[in-house]
Structure 1
């Protein structure tokens, strides 16, 4: 069996195991939907109290919110294995079993625990995209759809890269550090709002270090047909999502470096 068919076989086994407890899977999914719904209320309360924020309307911010949550939901489903690498694999010695299999480690980890519950965040994101479409009258032309899909793909790659880095830390710390959530959940929160609202130093961080702006801010401007208040040309939104794939490649480079440090449990 090739690597890709094996990946889908692993995902199918993971989903099948969760489907044996349908009530639990449903409650976890609904919990994810309602949990992110609280964030939606916070966004609504902000605009309800202050109206437009520096010229940005709630429909525009809803599109940021929706696309970013779709990105993170998919990446979180794929990257669960990296998230629990320390507790479920390194501490128990189960990582050795993965090393003995003649298939890529990353593929095995991504197919290890594909969570149904992440569907709740994904549906929440799609609902916000629909809301933004209604509020702003967005015309989903083939070009706009293509930009959105490329942005989502780049965003999934970026967030997956962050999870890979989080898992790599476990080679030194054994347990995944909560500080990594600054880049995962913190990154989601930061990318939900337009880049132009932030201070200059933070904009640089979100563009050149953890390129969240490249997969969210610039593509959304292209979809909305809105000029960038910061002065970036319109074509940037067409190519900037590629930064997500560059970040993922760099993360796997760090992963290979950390993997060389692994020395098993000694048991």
Structure 2
């Protein structure tokens, strides 16, 4: 981890060499999800509720998934831009270094300007919590942390799968955006508003439901049955990154240099 934090510090210093650009990009990242949230607000202003969900309940769901996405974009950006390492042949240098390829790629790029998106999500989170009559307990606070952490790991796992495909396709596949950007847009609403097959796919295959829907029922006091299961679903969702890591290892073993 000391090497990881060295990567972090070096890239942060490099980005801060152009401070005006850094802060302008951060401000831009703050307002990008703001327009999406404005659409969410006006939707509820017009219809009042969606399938039994009130505005502030969905706002909490929105904040959690966008916070997870912004953290993943910041700290797992190396996998999102991995195709450039393959195209330029720079991954060959990664392989000859006596450190994990996972760690080196993870530390190859950070997008600190995503702090703007993170800040906006944090503001929505605090606003939603203050307007919801939730009886907070230690278990619910821990569940909220689990939800954000699980979301970060799921998005990171999707980035890893997309990066692994580059070992065979060289260029990154845009289809991965269906599950990153598309997954973020879909998971900002509770899954039960969609058709059952959609909810099942995004619960049992790509487990966004373990981030935003099932534990959210526990926090809002809408559970039916054993509350502990709802509380622990984010931990189950976090396991998604393990098969993604194994697929990454398979891709590394099958890598052939581009000859660049």
For Structure 1 versus Structure 2, the TM-score category normalised by the shorter chain is: over 0.9
CA distance in structure 1 between the partners assigned to 2:243 and 2:237 by the alignment:
10
- TM-score, scaled relative to structure 2: 0.96
Deviations 1:150-206 (A, max 9, x none): 111111111100000010111111111111000001111111111111111111101
- Residue in 1 that maps onto 2:206: 210
Matched length: 260
Shift of 1:144: 1.8
- Residue in 2 that maps onto 1:15: 12
CA distance in structure 1 between the partners assigned to 2:96 and 2:225 by the alignment:
49
Deviations 1:202-256 (A, max 9, x none): 11101111000012211112112223xxx56433321111233321000011111
Deviations 1:34-68 (A, max 9, x none): 00101101100110111111111000000000011
- 1:35 equivalent to 2:32? Answer yes
- Residue in 2 that maps onto 1:200: 196
List aligned pairs for 1:214-225, cutoff 5 A: 214-225=210-221
Unaligned runs of 5+ in 1: none
- TM-score, scaled relative to structure 1: 0.93
CA distance in structure 1 between the partners assigned to 2:102 and 2:35 by the alignment:
33
Specify which of 237, 243, 248 is matched with residue 255 of structure 1.
248
List aligned pairs for 1:93-112, cutoff 5 A: 93-112=89-108
Shift of 1:140: 4.0
List aligned pairs for 1:71-110, cutoff 5 A: 71-87=68-84, 89-110=85-106
- 1:50 equivalent to 2:47? Answer yes
Q: Point out 4+ residue stretches in structure 1 off by more than 6 angstroms.
A: none
Distance verdict in 2 for CA 1:232–1:113, change over 3 Å: farther
Unaligned runs of 5+ in 2: none
Shift of 1:264: 0.9
- Residue in 1 that maps onto 2:150: 154
CA distance in structure 1 between the partners assigned to 2:128 and 2:59 by the alignment:
5
Distance verdict in 2 for CA 1:33–1:139, change over 3 Å: farther
SS across alignment from 2:227? coil
CA distance in structure 1 between the partners assigned to 2:21 and 2:104 by the alignment:
25
- 1:237 equivalent to 2:234? Answer no
